[in-house]
Amino acid sequence: MTPENSFLLIGLGNPGREYNSTRHNIGFMLIDLLCLRLNARGIKLQSKAIVISTVYEERRIIFAKPQTYMNLSGQSVQGLLHFYKIPIENLLVAHDDLDLPFGTIRIRPAGGPGGQRGMASTIEKLGTKDFPRLRLGIGRPPGRMDPKDYVLQDFSKDDMKLLPEVLDRAADAALEFITSGLNAAMNKFNGGLSSDKE
């Protein structure tokens, strides 16, 4: 596979069992689902990340979950992008987003970190904010709760019921990005659980 025919999909999260089902780890959850759906096997540790690669629709996909903790995620993104010589337009970073209601996903070609420390680290390490990302809405914390505490909590029971549907839709969007391109994925998937557009 040529670098132009290869894609790097990175989900942001925190390593450690205690963080498995927290809101901050929805990026990890998406990567796990994609690997399960595509029967991707062969886990290795590379560039401080858990890495699994597979072939889908004649395209090579490298899935990665950085193991550095969120605020240093950019180290893994930069290392893997350079090692596999993947064009930056073939990178997709999936992360939790406080500014989107739970159940909403947004694919974007570029943008700032929006307070997400993993994205801030990635932008810093890559030296640009012009790369595709998949924003996974987790909603705002209730009342005066500190966002730092909110993102490290498990999803609520109500949200947990909808989470599989949200992740399925996000997985479809990621695969659409790979097979049909950024614009097609944005047109088809930007919105909530229904097919509504922005």
Query: What amino acid positions are annotated as catalytic residues?
Result: 24
In angstroms and rounded to an integer, the radius of gyration of the C-alpha atoms of the chain is 15
H helices within the chain, ranges in order?
26-37, 74-83, 117-126, 147-151, 157-180, 182-189
Instruction: For 110-119, give one letter per residue: b (16+ CB within 10 A) or e.
Output: eeebeebbbb
Q: How far is residue 23's CA from residue 20's CA, in Å, rounded to a whole number?
A: 9
Q: How far is residue 34's CA from residue 39's CA, in Å, rounded to a whole number?
A: 8
Residue 163's region, left for phi above 0, alpha for psi from -120 to 50, else beta, is alpha
